[in-house]
Structure 1
Amino acid sequence: MIQDLMAGLDEAQAAFRTEIRALLSQERVRESAARIAAYPPDTEAAHLDVRRWLGAEGLLAPAWPAQYGGRGLGAAEAALVTEELTRAGIPDDVQVLSIDIVGMMLLHEGTETQRKTHLPPLAAGEQIATVLFTEPECGSDLSALRTRAEPDGDGWRLYGSKVYNMKSRYGEFAVCAARTTASPVPMHGITLFLLPLRSPGVHVEPVPSLGNDTFNLVVIDGVRLTEADVVGQVDDGWRLMNELLQLERTGVDFHAKARRLLDLVLDRAAATGRLSDPAYAVPLAELDAKLHAAHALAWQQVARLDAGSPDPVRSAMAKWYASEQARPVLDAGLDLYGLDAALTAWDGHAPDGGLLEAGYRMGPSHRLASGTSEVMLYLIATNGLGLL
């Protein structure tokens, strides 16, 4: 069980967390989490009843105004939803993509028409939104993207390919980055569009991955979009992408996943009497302390978002530190579980439902998602320390 580290919550925020935990502890949610954990290899979590149940109570997007399906609360409540979903065993990918990233971008940068059209169904858990930035020849360096928006009357036609995106097979629309203006400066001339994923001219196919969920390849062939589909201003996409990544890089979700795994390992160590053995107790105590530190760093970024003053360097620090804890936690679990750690949820005899084995397959993604660890260290070294 995720430890209660949130002594800094005020009374209303603590009550909000209690409300979320009460809903997520219901039998129908526990049964749903068990079904999700037992999904066969070709099935992944996307449109879930749990999200609709939360949405009906205004709990999916609590930081959004009531007219868009939220409660008009703050970043702390939004972060609590992400933490508690992970604690309950509900995958958080859709939450992070649809609510924490795309939804928040539309809330801050979208037009009123875009907000009225897209935010309520996202907040209700009825629709999924995704992000289309990465391309086959463009990974961490988004300034190298090649997807182009060619002028067509009063709009554009988009051409290009996006890869390694999540949930696009199930999404209704995506925030897609495309080049609208040729420029010798690669960061200039990029625009963000709202791309309907089920339009003629959009082809989505799965790309196998080590995790339970697949990546996707999205090929865009001549989809016509207009000014109404632009997020923010034309050619201002680079700034918006960097602001979006700050929303994604608090480290809250990375910490929550590592915390859940470590709690399983600690429970196993206690049940087998290993916590009385210094060979196990000392490294586990060190990992526990590091996750306390990761949690504190992540919630500092949540506080900055709440205050309207996100810090890209400190966000990079929080994301890097939290995501780097996954690997040593998994190694500790392998040491403790032994060969049982290799049993999958589909074997039928895996301890803890095969969560450790699934965690091992997902482990590399912690250091890659939301910006690689190397990119985070580069941001810290250059923008923070002025070393390069």
Structure 2
Amino acid sequence: MNLELTPEQESFRRAVCALLCEESVREEVARARRLPADQEPGLLEVYRRLAERGWLAINWPAEHGGLGSSVVEKAILTEQMIVHGIPDVVHTLSVDIVGLAIQRLGTEAQKRRWLPRIAAGEGAGCVLLTEPEIGSDLGGLSTRAEPDGDGWRLHGRKVYSLKSQFADLALCAARTTESEVRFHGITVFIVPMRAPGVRVEPLWSMSDERFNQVVLSGIRLTAEDVLGEVDDGWQVLHDLLGIERTGIEFEAKARRLLDAVLDETERTGSVEGSEYGELLVELDAEVWAGQLLAWHALGDMLDGDLDDVRCGMAKWHTTETAKRISELGPEICGLTALLSARDAEAAPGWLLESAFRDAPGLTLASGTSEVMLSLIASAGLGLLG
């Protein structure tokens, strides 16, 4: 596997870096990082600037707002946005997960309806999967799509949905048919989030990223809103979760966190003569290993083969590494690491305090570490018969 960028890809990486280093972008990022605790960034002006160049969804066809490039260019953009501290959750959800799922599985009408607005940085998507009581056990869904003429009425409650307060659309899993086979009879719908019958309520937590509860009270959907086939949503979810698990964004976050720790220890000299030097070398090796795993998984996607096991390995390793760095940051850097980015004494763009609060969620989202290990053991190693 060749991990070297082509000259064209390297030129694109430098061009993205130049844009994200512009003073106006850095000012926008600084403002976003210092928003009050009950606010958070949604769609950003830098998204629109990237979109003007066709970069925000660069791997989509031109008719949908991209440049028809590969997922490699898209991964380069994602890495650079995270490295430069651009709030990325809305972008990742909208383009890399929701948009890419519609791009791969949607009808031409669905693509024309939803993708250009996302690619222009003017619309956002979210995911509605998790429910109370069942967590991420999607075979136990209680959200129901009840028949209504030539369509359905959607009833249910979804929880722990990120950025749904900004979203125009959501990918929502609901049960359309009762079946003895628990994974049969599930359908994935594209839900317009601004329609009557959709209510978004905050679920406050320690994280800077607000979780939401989304209550679905009879919103009417038709066959035009179905992603994939009716009752075959499990296959759609399989593809959707695979898209989430390449690990690209997590390896980039791990690198940015470790660089912040290294910068602080260099500034203070706190590592000299301590036991942390060897640990930092070890963490650096783990970050590099995560990058290799993530790009290998991405290479499979580029070849049209989404390898579940490789994606599971990448997701497990990159999130565990980012979590470990987040938890060790305060130990290595001392009390400085506990300064909020909103604190006047914090370094510009300081992120370790926020990362420490976010750390537990890294290994829960998109499939827990335990689920990833089970997948690797069963499908990859054949250990669970």
Scaled to the shorter chain, the TM-score interval is over 0.9
**Post-superposition CA distance 1:247-277 (Å, at most 9, x none):** 1101111111111010011111222234543
Match of 1:51 among 24, 31, 47: 47
Partner of residue 244, structure 2: 248
* Cα RMSD, aligned residues only: 1.3
How far did residue 278 of structure 1 move?
Answer: 5.5
Of 326-335 and 43-52, more deviation after overlay is shown by: 326-335
Please give the alpha-carbon distance, in whole angstroms, between the structure 2 residues aligned to 1:353 and 1:16.
25
Alignment of 1:164-183 (within 5 A): 164-183=160-179
Alignment of 1:257-336 (within 5 A): 257-274=253-270, 276-277=272-273, 279-336=275-332
Of 305-314 and 329-338, more deviation after overlay is shown by: 329-338
How far did residue 232 of structure 1 move?
Answer: 1.1
How far did residue 63 of structure 1 move?
Answer: 0.6
Runs of 5+ consecutive residues of structure 2 not aligned to the other structure:
none
Aligned partners of 1:340 and 1:351 also within 8 Å = no
In structure 2, give the amino acid aligned to 1:367: T
Q: In structure 1, the residue corresponding to 2:26 is in which secondary structure?
A: helix
Please give the alpha-carbon distance, in whole angstroms, between the structure 2 residues aligned to 1:331 and 1:103.
32
Matched, 1:88 2:80: no
Partner of residue 203, structure 1: 199
Of 143-152 and 263-272, more deviation after overlay is shown by: 263-272
**Post-superposition CA distance 1:309-352 (Å, at most 9, x none):** 11001100010000001233124321232122222123322245
Please give the alpha-carbon distance, in whole angstroms, between the structure 1 residues aligned to 2:122 and 2:327.
38
In structure 1, give the amino acid aligned to 2:236: L
Please give the alpha-carbon distance, in whole angstroms, between the structure 2 residues aligned to 1:332 and 1:163.
30
Match of 2:225 among 223, 229, 251: 229
Aligned partners of 1:137 and 1:145 also within 8 Å = no
Please give the alpha-carbon distance, in whole angstroms, between the structure 1 residues aligned to 2:324 and 2:99.
33
Runs of 5+ consecutive residues of structure 1 not aligned to the other structure:
1-5
Partner of residue 338, structure 1: 334
Matched, 1:9 2:5: yes
Alignment of 1:154-173 (within 5 A): 154-173=150-169
How far did residue 244 of structure 1 move?
Answer: 0.8
How far did residue 138 of structure 1 move?
Answer: 2.2
Q: In structure 1, the residue corresponding to 2:48 is in which secondary structure?
A: helix
Partner of residue 110, structure 1: 106
**Post-superposition CA distance 1:83-141 (Å, at most 9, x none):** 11111111111121110111111111111111011100000100001110111122121
Please give the alpha-carbon distance, in whole angstroms, between the structure 2 residues aligned to 1:330 and 1:361.
8
Match of 1:101 among 93, 97, 102: 97
Partner of residue 234, structure 2: 238
Partner of residue 151, structure 1: 147
Please give the alpha-carbon distance, in whole angstroms, between the structure 2 residues aligned to 1:383 and 1:336.
38
Partner of residue 3, structure 1: none
**Post-superposition CA distance 1:19-44 (Å, at most 9, x none):** 11111111111111111111110111
Please give the alpha-carbon distance, in whole angstroms, between the structure 2 residues aligned to 1:219 and 1:327.
31
Count the aligned residue pairs: 383
Percent identity between the aligned chains?
51
Q: In structure 2, the residue corresponding to 1:325 is in which secondary structure?
A: helix
In structure 2, give the amino acid aligned to 1:178: A
Please give the alpha-carbon distance, in whole angstroms, between the structure 2 residues aligned to 1:314 and 1:327.
20
Please give the alpha-carbon distance, in whole angstroms, between the structure 1 residues aligned to 2:326 and 2:211.
23
Of 12-21 and 373-382, more deviation after overlay is shown by: 12-21
In structure 1, give the amino acid aligned to 2:303: A
Of 325-334 and 230-239, more deviation after overlay is shown by: 325-334
Aligned partners of 1:294 and 1:322 also within 8 Å = yes
Q: In structure 1, the residue corresponding to 2:250 is in which secondary structure?
A: helix
Structure 1 residues 27 and 354: alpha-carbon distance in aligned structure 2, compared to 1, 3 A threshold: closer
Partner of residue 125, structure 1: 121
Q: In structure 1, the residue corresponding to 2:132 is in which secondary structure?
A: coil
Please give the alpha-carbon distance, in whole angstroms, between the structure 2 residues aligned to 1:188 and 1:298.
31
**Post-superposition CA distance 1:194-227 (Å, at most 9, x none):** 1111111111111012111210000001111111
